[in-house]
Amino acid sequence: MLIHFVYPFSAEDIREFQEHYPIIFATGNKMHRGKRFRDVEFQQSQVGSSSAQSMRSQQPQQHESESQHEFQSQQHPGQEVMDDLHIQDEQVRVRLTRGSSRSRDVWQLREDEKMVVECNELGQPIKRAGCLLSSFLGSVARRGQLCPLNYHKWNDMLPSYKVELLKFVQKKFVLPPESHDWVLKSLNRKWKEYKSKLKADWKREGMTEEEVARVCPPDVYHHQWRELVYYWFSERGQTYSDIGRAARASQTIPHTSGSKSYARLRAEFMEDHGRKPGEVEFYKMTHTHRDGSFVREESRDIVDRATSLISERIGESSSIGNTRGVEAQVFTELMGSERYGRVRGYGVGVTPTQLSAVGRYTQDVRQSSSTAEVNDLKAEIKELKQSHQTEMQSLRAQINQITSLLHQFVPPQVPDSSSARRDGDAIDP
């Protein structure tokens, strides 16, 4: 039996080891490593029973303290509550699962099981399943048989690869059709990030192309690695590298949202407040810490200037539509115009054209839904009137029928003229 050490040790652990295994600390490195471990194995057999008893006596207390700590952590008011994961099988039966899950749990799903992903109106995954999908795509992008590294750009990759990638992801997740574009864009981003990480880890300053290509990472194919290294040292690759390095240096204000996507943050805000966040409001959310302090003074200055400009331009008008329009205009003036193919504050997969199209679509849907409700109410009122008239006509017909039957079986009563005449004679003098 060998002893597996876990560093670092505490002072009490070191003293305990010195008492039980003095041969290790006494001889140091002079004794052969194999003999040291044989001696340790012999001493461990002698003290194993006592240590096992002490460990068994300590286990219930440790378990109790861990369970108590877990209960307290669950009751912590600031802790984020995890939503359930929906897993669907071939019979379209859905089961719920809770607890922490990672991308490796997705790889270990049964062949007949898939995770159900929910998306927003822009096709971006949200909630906990969306987080797992993003992590899973990161692991897919690091596999050379699925995302080859010998392509210089994502657009140069064969369309057949992208189709197979989408089919492979659909074996693990139930994806809405509107999320397919986001999946490919996210794979593109993670694929480029993986290549950038390989370059930062394996290409050092002053190394030649032959030196870098000679040492291949363990999880990369050799032929893909050589072509990737060749591109790094090419004139085109160095030009794009300088452009990317300059663009990255210009980003001086980091965000504080961590690994949580902007789509998930917006979805949680809408669930809590029942409305969409404003441009300046969302910028403040993603650039402040939990204690309310800004991540940079530049971000504080942007929020202060935007707030003052919005107050000046709104004036007496305080309608919601006017406020949002002014807020978006002021935010664009301070931050600059949007770049091609992206929208600030929305994350991966959203373009200005798509955002405006979705806005028009949702507006048309609301108008059409309200018009449809009015038309349904009018039709319902008209139907009620017609049914009421029909019922009244039927009731009149029944009353007429009953009246006719009464006339047939009950003859009309005629007053007796003789009795009336006798009464008249008795009255007269």
Domain segments of the chain as ranges: 11-63, 85-249, 262-339
SS3 10: coil
Report the sign of the C-alpha dihedral through residues 128, 133, 138, 140, in that order.
positive
**pLDDT(410) > 90:** no
User: Which of 134-143, 219-228, 367-376 is predicted least confidently?
Assistant: 367-376
Placement of tokens 């194999």 in the chain: 34
d(CA 170, CA 179): 11
Q: List the structure tokens of 149.
A: 């590294």
Could you give the angle at the alpha carbon of 411 between the alpha carbons of 408 and 417, nearest 5°? 160
- Report the percent of the chain where pLDDT is more than 70: 69
Indicate the residue type of 361: Y
- 58-62, 316-320, 358-362, 389-393: segment of lowest average pLDDT: 58-62
DSSP tag of 250: T
State in Å, rounded, how far the first CA of the chain is from the last one: 147
Secondary structure letter of residue 154 according to DSSP: G
pLDDT of residue 269: 94
CB 314 within 8 A of CB 323: yes
Q: Where are the beta strands (DSSP E) in 27-165?
A: 85-88, 94-97, 114-116, 118-119, 125-126
Q: Is the dihedral of CA 363, 364, 369, 375 positive or negative?
A: positive
Q: How confident is the model over 310-355, as pLDDT tens digits? A: 888 887 555 666 778 888 888 888 888 887 778 889 998 888 887 7
Amino acid at the residue 160: S
